[in-house]
Amino acid sequence: MKGIAERYGITHTRFVGIVCVSALLLMLLYSVVSRQERIVFNFLYAFFIVLVAAALAFFLRDVAKAHVYAVCVLLFVSGFLVAEYDNTLLVRTRTMEEFRTVLGEVEYPTINEVFSVKYAVLRNDDVGDHSLATAALLSCADEAGVSITLGVIPARLDAETALLLSGATRHEIATHGYAHEHFNVLSFEEQYALIDAGTALIQRVLGVRPTTFIPPYDSGTADTALACRLLGYDTITDVRDHPSFLLNVINSIYYETCFDPPRHEDLDVLKRGIDDFLESGEEVHVTILHDWTVIGEGGAIDEERLSAFREYVGYIRSCGLEVVTLGEYHDRKEDLSRIDIDIHDGAFYIDTLHCTGSHAVNLLLQSGRSYGTIEALMHEEPVRFDESSPAYVLEPGMLYVVRYY
């Protein structure tokens, strides 16, 4: 030891002092690191600094020692300076790591990044004075166990249809104008008055207050949406090129290719539309049809048209798609937004504490991962998912852990 001290040109006492202080500093650092389990010490980089210092001390024996110390200090400081770009931060915390993972890979995770959620909507417009057709379509839907959104024209509502709708509680009553007007040519005051009157009429006759407004001829504007919002609506359809203020659900496909006389889209085209939707990243598929679409010659129900519709609904169901009304879609979206998602150690923590209903979802596999698992924290065995990505039902008030492998 005496020899080393002499070689570096410092006194023996001073050398012992330096060694003691260094050891003390190391012990202090170690005690801090070991007590805080969330702190990660970069041993590799520390070892690198020591190696460089030793090599410099060995090769530059005769050069001024101050230079050796300066280089070491520079290395040490640079570790903190370039830490953002290289793995050279000496001490970092787990929270910092998680933060970088979240920001770097998944920015503000939402439910749509972990699961795919899909709904089909059947929207039947122009309901009011074809009770025979309304009854036929509703019985089709009831047979298949699906709910339909009925766009009711308040001013055309006849007694038979009103009676029919009063008993159709599983379906949604939506407002379809007052007497089927073009809204985009009306002033805000005119639109407001019509929607107000239509809503009141439905409420008086059917005993329900609609929350979905379907502008006739897709003629909704920002004024329409504003009037609807002021009148307590939360959902509107097909508002394009205008701010919509409400949940704005754009249609996906028209069931009819021609309105007068009614001609229908080929069943294969309709089915392909559903297939494409399932492959897409879209959340909702809306099919629009009209009551009068199943009325044949002489005002009777065209059974062939009705059975085609029945087959279409059956196909949607066979794909495992959940058929909801526009109102239900709005409520599902709102409920899904109550899910809290957190990331820890590469796993998603899905908290459904504030949800009010259950949700059918499909796990999305992250790229490069061959499978994932979902584990409800109170269940023992995690459920495994691969590329076929089967449906899973999230229940309210639970905590799920999603991991990828």
Write out the residues near Zn ion by the rule CB under 5 A.
125-126, 216
Smallest gap, in angstroms, from Cβ of residue 123 to Zn ion?
Answer: 10
The residue among 289 and 336 lying less far from Zn ion, judged by its C-beta, is 289
The residue among 79 and 210 lying less far from Zn ion, judged by its C-beta, is 210
Smallest gap, in angstroms, from Cβ of residue 390 to Zn ion?
Answer: 38
Smallest gap, in angstroms, from Cβ of residue 125 to Zn ion?
Answer: 4
Strand residues in 292-358 grouped as ranges (E): 322-323, 340-344, 347-351
DSSP label of 100: H
Smallest gap, in angstroms, from Cβ of residue 254 to Zn ion?
Answer: 11
The residue among 290 and 305 lying less far from Zn ion, judged by its C-beta, is 290
Q: Nearest residue by C-beta to Zn ion? A: 125
Smallest gap, in angstroms, from Cβ of residue 284 to Zn ion?
Answer: 20
The residue among 125 and 172 lying less far from Zn ion, judged by its C-beta, is 125
Smallest gap, in angstroms, from Cβ of residue 206 to Zn ion?
Answer: 18
**Are 360 and 321 spatial neighbours (Cβ–Cβ below 8 Å)?**
no
How many Cβ atoms from other residues are within 10 Å of residue 271's Cβ?
16
Smallest gap, in angstroms, from Cβ of residue 177 to Zn ion?
Answer: 7
DSSP label of 352: -
Smallest gap, in angstroms, from Cβ of residue 294 to Zn ion?
Answer: 15
Six token digits for residue 400: 């799920």
Residue ranges of alpha helices (H) inside 36-64 are 43-59
- Sequence-distant contacts of 191-200: CB under 8 A, at least 24 apart: 191/223, 191/224, 191/227, 192/227, 192/230, 192/231, 195/224, 195/227, 195/228, 195/231, 195/233, 196/227, 196/231, 197/154, 198/154, 198/155, 199/154, 199/175, 199/231, 199/232
The residue among 88 and 175 lying less far from Zn ion, judged by its C-beta, is 175
Q: What Cα–Cα distance (Å) separates residue 114 from each residue in 81, 124, 280, 328, 339?
A: 35, 33, 15, 22, 12
The residue among 121 and 402 lying less far from Zn ion, judged by its C-beta, is 121
Residue 227: is it exposed, middle or buried by C-beta count within 10 angstroms (0-12/13-18/19+)?
buried
- Round to whole Å and give the CA distance between 173 and 214: 11
The residue among 123 and 305 lying less far from Zn ion, judged by its C-beta, is 123
The residue among 125 and 328 lying less far from Zn ion, judged by its C-beta, is 125
**Torsion angle, alpha carbons of 177, 183, 186, 188, to 10:** 80
CA atoms within 13 A on the CB side of 175: 36
Smallest gap, in angstroms, from Cβ of residue 174 to Zn ion?
Answer: 11
- Round to whole Å and give the CA distance between 347 and 382: 13
CA-closest candidate to residue 213, choices 249, 186, 188 = 249
The residue among 244 and 293 lying less far from Zn ion, judged by its C-beta, is 293
